[in-house]
Amino acid sequence: MSKNIVLCSDGTGQAGGQGFVSNVWRLFKAVDRHHAKKKQVVFHVDGVGSEQGKVMRVLGGALGVGLGNDIRQLYATLVRSYKPEDKIFLFGFSRGAFTVRSLAGMIHHVGILKKDQFQSDEKLNKAVKAAYKAYRKEKNPDISKNYDLHDDKRSIEFVGVWDTVDAIGVPIDEMREAFYAIRNTFYAIRDKFISLPHVLYRRHRAELNSSIQNAYQAISIDDERLTFHPMIWDESGFNPYSPDETPIWRHI
């Protein structure tokens, strides 16, 4: 019997319902894990900037450090749980919304690894890192040469997000673009000459894609934060579907 897989990602600094309780946490707690007619798997990751160390909290809050780890956690959970015909539901708030939208991009561009090929968590986690690395490259290498993948092309049933913001939080758009330019130069040097850990970010693929069946985003009308601007889905010119299979995308 197919099941629902519900993956949730919270906003910056939010950890397990402590302090301000987000809609993502409320939804996570509300999912019926023992539904009589439908099996449901639910998983939640805390927001970036909720780490114990002060330095990581600051880096997570300002630069989104830790976001990649959240994506890999959610993807690994998906790999462990997913079977053909399962329905995937993704929910996120603020940076967590950016996280699940990026996860949807990873699923679309890379695919979902088959769990049965891994004899240990160590091997699975190694494959998850390889899949994430493939997703972050400008041109996706074909990881099916090394790993077996599910061939479902329309696997994401629903993406629901609140107030998506970018990974980088700076008050002026030009500053954000300058940061990305510096970061890309850093990566070019690193990839050519040296091997360093992934501290900064390449652009994530957080746009709509044809693997998503239904997408809804709620946007605040009175958000006065200067550091973060909402990332609106750009639907212009995007319709990879035939007339009889048009998906549902809405801003609320």
Mean pLDDT, consecutive 10-residue stretches, the chain (252 aa), reads: 93 64 90 90 79 44 65 96 96 92 94 96 96 83 89 89 70 51 59 48 77 90 64 64 53 52
pLDDT of residue 182: 61
Spatial contact of 252 and 233, defined as CB atoms under 8 Å apart: no
pLDDT of residue 230: 73
Quote the number of domains for the chain: 1
User: Domain range for residue 223?
Assistant: 3-251
pLDDT of residue 7: 98
Which string of b and e fits 134-165 if b means at least 16 CB within 10 Å?
A: bbbeeeeeebeeebeebebeebbebbbbbbbb
Separation of alpha carbons 110 and 149, rounded Å: 9
pLDDT of residue 195: 47
3-state SS, residue 3 = strand
Residue with tokens 């019997």: 1
pLDDT of residue 11: 82
Q: How many CA atoms lie within 13 A of 193 on its CB side?
A: 6
Q: pTM value?
A: 0.77
- Type of residue numbered 186: F
pLDDT of residue 198: 44
